[in-house]
Structures are given as C-alpha cells and as structure tokens.
Amino acid sequence: MAAPMAELPVEPQSLRKLSLKSLKRGLDLFAPSHGASFPLDSESKRIRVGYKATAEYGRVKNLPIEDTQDKSKDKSKQSSAPLALPGIPESKDSQKGDQGALVMAPPMLPKAPELAMPSKSSAVISVPGSSDRYTSSSALIERIASKWPKPVWHAPWKNYRVISGHLGWVRSIAFDPSNTWFCTGSADRTIKIWDVASGRLKLTLTGHIEQIRGLAVSQRHTYLFSAGDDKQVKCWDLEQNKVIRSYHGHLSGVYCLALHPTIDVLLTGGRDSVCRVWDIRTKAMVCALTGHENTVCSVFARPTDPQVVTGSHDTTIKFWDLVAGKTMATVTHHKKSVRAMALHPKEHAFASASADNIKKFSLPKGEFLHNMLSQQKTIINSMAVNEDGVLATGGDNGSLWFWDWKSGHNFQQGQTIVQPGSLDSEACIYALSYDMSGSRLVTCEADKTIKMWKEDLSATPETHPLNFRPPKDQRRY
C-alpha cells in the first residue's frame, strides 16, 4: 500500500499582499478600455443644442427675414428727398414724389429724445418656451425683505447691588405698589422687607414652617399674602405686622400665588394640581379650578376673560372662566413644564417659559404668536417683562437673559456670580421681578442673596450694536 502524499505547506499571505493581488486582477480586467472615452449620446446633444438655441435666440429666431436690396432702395430714396424747412413752401417736384419720404428736422433744432435702453440691473426677462427646470432660481426669484419685526435697541443691564440677609434660598419676591419697598420669601421660613432705594432691611416676618414659594402685595389694602410648602396661605396686615387670616384647603405645598386686579379674590396653585380661588375677606374658598394633571406652578389674573391663566408641570396652559369655574381653553404648545409666565403690562399678550422654548401667545384667545429666537437650554424658573418691552428670564444654571419683546431677539446673555463661600451649583435664579417703574430688576438666588440690576446708561447703539438676524422660517407651533 502506497504511503499518503505529504501536504504542501500553505504560504501565509499578508493582508497587503492579498490587496495587491486584487488590484492587479482589477487592472487586468479593465486595462483594455482604460483610456477610452464614453460614446456620445446623440439624443442628449440634440436636447442641449435645442435648449441653448431657445434660451439665447428664442425671441428673435422666428422673426421675418428682411430683404437687404429693398432696404438699400429705401435708403437712397430717403437721401434724395429734399429737406422741408419751416417757412419755405415745398416745390411741385417734391410734392409729386413719394408721399412716405422722411421729413427731417433742420440741423439747428433740438434733437428728439432717444429711446431709453434697459439697464443691466433691470428685471430678468423670462424666455417664452424655455423650461422652468433649467432656469436659475437665484436669477428669477425676487429678494423679498423679511417680514419679521426688527428689534428695538435696548441698553444692556448690569448688576449694581448685592443684598445678603437670608439664611436659605430666596424663593419669591413682590413689590409694593408705592415702589418704596419690596419683600422676599426664603427657605429660611421668613419674609423680609427691604428698602428699594438703599437696599436696607426694614422688617422680618416669621410664621411659616416651610419655605415660602409665593408672595403678593395688595393694591387696595395694606395686606401681604404669602404661600409656602407648608400648605398654608397667609394674609399679613402690614399695619400690625402680623397674620390676620389663614386660608386652609390645599392638600400639598403651594407653589404660586396671584391677586385679582379688580375684585378681592386670591388665586393659589400647588402640588395638588388645583388652582384654588379664595375670598380675601371671608377666608372661604370660592371654587377649585380642577383640570390640570400635575403641579400648578404659575398663575396670573386679568380683569377681563380669561380672568385666570395657569401653567403646570403637565406642560399645558389653561384659561379659566372664573364665573363658571371651568376651562375656557387649553394651550398645548409646550413639551416641558411651564414653570413661569409673564403678562405684558400694555399689550394683550403673555409669554410662557419652559425648558424647551419661550413662547408668546395673544389674549384672550391664546393664539400662538412666535417663539423667542434663541434657546436658553435650561429650566427657566421665573420671567418678567416691563413697559419698555424688555423680557428677563432667570434660569436654573444662573443665566439671566434679556429679550426684545416685539421681535423675540435675545440682546444680552448674563450670568450671575455666586457669593464667596457658595458652591458653583448654587448659581440659580429662583424668582425675579421689575419694580413699578420697570427701571430696576431684582433677582432672588440660591446663594441666599438678592441682586439688583439696572440699565447701563453709558451704553449706546455704537458701543453695543444690535447683532440681529431674522429667522429663515417662522414656526407655527
């Protein structure tokens, strides 16, 4: 029996060697036609030549051909015809001649006005018969000016005072209608009253047992209203500096508070997903506006319908009929919690802030107007707008942005600075408000301070130019 043949050893081949083999095989395959050009397509050439003839000579291609001999005869007739001068009667020979002979003006008379030739910058003439598919859109489309309103120039704002005195996060703020003092509520469970002009502490009110989330000062009474995480809503008499009424009914923490501008009604919203309406004098709950599916965290009131507008963590904004106690409309444009809203002091419009966007709506119907043109990209805890159309928004990361109300242009991006000894993570703005004149802005922050801001009077449109670019497309939601 023959012995089995020994197997030949397989030569190990590297990846580089295999790649070179593959390239050589491909070269051998396509080498005969390497330098040859592609055959011309007669049909495409015919279309291309026909389009060029139509585009360039389409307007004159079908004109009738004039006879050059007839043209020269007419010219000789015109040159032989006598000149008709004013005051000189025509001779009989000239009258017998061609009636269509050209009568030329004397050389001393003014020239006839020449026909105006079209300038190079005139409108593009559309060629009849040419396909729209081949024409350049940039040459034919007229440049239309943007319909987006141009922003008004506003001076940048600067921090001019830092007030410290609270022992916890400063969560809420309200101004006195006389514009002489303002009050702040804090996580240290106290309400402090400060002088607007000097920034000095005037009074401290104690009575809450949890942090104070909402404050409001009455325009018709000497009352201050406060609400906190302890489920309590209190009415303070500022003549006696003590609590005279408490409003019981909330099942969880109270997050926001507002007073009706014309009737003695108090509105509070909280974690029980209900906006409750209270009679200030009798302490009775008039009605509970139910319909939200999560925390009611922002509310404001108007003298006309819709008299109550609420924003919630369920991402909706609801308009309420105060008489019937029912929802008039629901706005569902936001994708995140609506933590802050601001009613314009003059216009029938309001802005709402969420982590996804800041949006403007008209009143009373709640029609969407437009988004602000930038995104703050943080949770916005508070916002306010003054009569000059400056909208301020305070973020969870300490960003303080200023916007032009009319156009939505963000003209300043500020950043709060934490106080020495505070953590960088405490750069957070929880509440902000303009004073009654709209010339001062006060922010309440997580580093336990209150900061006051004003416009930089030395700024001009030349030193701080308006860098505005209108949006290319307007969103409908």
Contact residues for 298 (Cβ-Cβ < 8 A; gap 6+)? 256, 269, 310, 311, 312, 338, 339, 340, 341, 352
> Tokens at residue 311, please?
């924003």
**Closest by alpha carbon to 300, among 238, 365, 384?**
384
pLDDT of residue 360: 96
Looking at residue 190, its amino acid is T
pLDDT of residue 338: 96
Residue matched to tokens 């029980």: 272
Q: What is the rounded distance in angstroms from the CA atom of residue 448 to the CA atom of residue 188?
A: 9
| Neighbouring C-beta atoms of residue 190, cutoff 10 Å | 19
Q: What is the pTM of this model?
A: 0.70
Rg, the chain, Cα only: 41
CB of 217 closer than 8 Å to CB of 235: no
Q: What is the rounded distance in angstroms from the CA atom of residue 85 to the CA atom of residue 273?
A: 101
Starting at the edge strand that comes first in sequence, how are the strands of the sheet with 390-395 ordered? Answer: 380-385, 390-395, 399-404, 410-415
Phi, psi of 219, rounded to the nearest 5 degrees: -85, -20
pLDDT of residue 42: 75
pLDDT of residue 11: 67
pLDDT digits (tens, 9 = 90+) for 308-358: 999 999 999 999 999 999 999 999 999 999 999 999 999 999 999 999 999
Q: CA distances (Å), 198 to each of 186, 190, 271, 441, in order?
A: 20, 21, 37, 14
Q: CA distances (Å), 185 to each of 191, 214, 255, 417, in order?
A: 5, 7, 12, 21
Q: What is the rounded distance in angstroms from the CA atom of residue 236 to the CA atom of residue 309?
A: 25
pLDDT of residue 102: 44
Report the residue count for the chain: 477
Q: Tell me 180's DSSP state.
A: S
CB of 82 closer than 8 Å to CB of 91: yes
pLDDT in tens, the chain (477 residues): 455 555 556 667 788 888 888 888 888 777 766 666 666 677 777 776 676 666 666 666 676 765 555 555 555 555 445 544 445 455 444 444 444 444 444 444 444 444 444 444 444 444 444 444 544 555 555 556 678 889 999 999 999 999 999 999 999 999 999 999 999 999 999 999 999 999 999 999 999 999 999 999 999 999 999 999 999 999 999 999 999 999 999 999 999 999 999 999 999 999 999 999 999 999 999 999 999 999 999 999 999 989 999 999 999 999 999 999 999 999 999 999 999 999 999 999 999 999 999 999 999 999 999 999 999 999 999 999 999 999 999 999 999 999 999 999 999 999 999 999 899 989 999 999 999 999 999 999 999 999 999 999 999 999 999 888 888 776 666
